[in-house]
Amino acid sequence: MQIVVTLSHVPDTATKIKISSDRKSIDPAGVSFVINPYDEFAIEEGLRTKEKFGGNVIIVSYGNDGAKESIKKALAMGADKGILIKGDLNVDSLTVAKALATKISELKPDVVFCGKQSVDYDSSAVAQMLAELLNLPSISTVVSLEFSDGKLKAKREVEGGLEIVESTLPAIITAQKGLNEPRYASIKGIMAAKSKPIEEATFDASQNKLSVNELRLPDSKRKSRIFDSEDASISELVRLLREEAKVI
């Protein structure tokens, strides 16, 4: 099976975000970058699919040279090959999807796994757009997955429960936490990754349709009234919730 996994190289979720002096981008100084957490579930699902049905797992990422570090981690986990498409990073989801589509269409995948969203811009859009550009069906936010009779059956998380979705193959799946437990790279895997290829390509991102006017930090206008744990404080809290905040 030809298995493709997309990968995004993003700031660690423990990172404090600072805005650059141009007020239009994030200041990368002092920020540590990691594999997008949801992409780890996608990589793991790709590896498990290969273990079950055979084939290759190819990692495709749109990013800058820094993303190679995350691609190497995916190769160390067991993926076979990496492709890095380099281009401007301050672009919209559709531009990223188009960049990925140019390479992924050549790979003729049987299945593509993506994270359900990247934890930087949080649009949850690239995978579904990629599916449309490749004319494939997609199932997003998947927590369980089964291949049977050339079809896919997935459980997808929605408000108040799980939708059971059936889809033809090839298809694009986006991984939600809970789909699997991602493995750690073994020493052997890390050594093996050193000789695995990372192909590079470039993409002209000039068709970007989103222009950032300004980034800002959210204003915190909280009252921050802190009480001790005396009984009187608890009654006062309930009164405030009722009469001042009017939320109960």
Partner 1 sequence: MSNKILVFLEQRNGLIKKQSFEPARKGFSLSKEINCEVTGLLIGDEITNINSLEEHGLTNVVHLKNSKLKNYSSTAYSKLVYDFAKERGYNILLFSHTALGKDLAPIVAAKLDAGYGADCTSLTINNGNLIAERPIFAGKALMNFSLNSEVKVFTLRPNSVSLTDDGYRVQTNVIINEINDEQLDLRSMVIDFEKAEGKLDVAEADIIVSGGRGMKGPENFYLLEELAQLIGGAVGASRAVVDAGWRPHSEQVGQTGKTVSPKLYIACGISGAIQHLAGMSSSKCIVAINKDKDAPIFQVADYGIVGNVLEILPKLKNELKKYLE
Give the Cα separation of 47 and 119 in Å (integer): 22
Give the Cα separation of 239 and 118 in Å (integer): 41
188 in contact with partner 1 (CB under 8 A): no
Q: Which residue in the set 146, 166, 199, 204 belongs to the binding site for partner 1 (CB under 8 A)?
A: 166
CB of 200 to partner 1, least distance (A): 25
Which of these segments, 7-15, 67-75, 81-89, 185-193, binds partner 1 (CB under 8 A)? 7-15
Residue list 86-115, contact with partner 1 (CB under 8 A): 92-94, 97
CB of 197 to partner 1, least distance (A): 30
* Number of chain residues interacting with partner 1 (CB under 8 A): 82
216 in contact with partner 1 (CB under 8 A): yes
Q: Which residue in the set 68, 86, 177, 183 belongs to the binding site for partner 1 (CB under 8 A)?
A: 177
CB 36, CB 8: distance < 8 Å: yes
Q: How far apart are the first and last CA of the chain?
A: 55
Cβ-count burial 96-110 (b if 16+ within 10 Å, e if not)? bbbbbbebbeebebb
75 vs 93, which CB is nearer to partner 1?
A: 93
66 vs 197, which CB is nearer to partner 1?
A: 66
133 in contact with partner 1 (CB under 8 A): yes
Taking CA 94 as the corner, what is the angle to CA 90 and CA 18, rounded to the nearest 5 degrees? 25
Which of these segments, 62-70, 106-114, 163-171, 183-191, binds partner 1 (CB under 8 A)? 163-171
Amino acid in the structure at residue 193: A
Q: Which two tokens stand for residue 51?
A: 């273990």
215 in contact with partner 1 (CB under 8 A): yes
202 vs 235, which CB is nearer to partner 1?
A: 235
Question: Which residue in 161, 160, 99 sits closest to 133, CA to CA?
Answer: 99
Q: Evaluate the CA torsion angle 128, 130, 27, 199 in order and state its sign.
A: positive
156 in contact with partner 1 (CB under 8 A): yes
Residue list 221-240, contact with partner 1 (CB under 8 A): 222-229, 231, 233-235, 237-240
SS3 call for 172: strand
SS3 call for 46: helix
32 in contact with partner 1 (CB under 8 A): no
Q: Which residue in the set 43, 67, 76, 131 belongs to the binding site for partner 1 (CB under 8 A)?
A: 131
For residue 84, the cross-strand partners are 61, 200
Question: Looking at residue 85, what DSSP letter applies?
Answer: E
Give the Cα separation of 153 and 232 in Å (integer): 55
Q: Which residue in the set 2, 56, 105, 167 belongs to the binding site for partner 1 (CB under 8 A)?
A: 167
CB of 213 to partner 1, least distance (A): 4
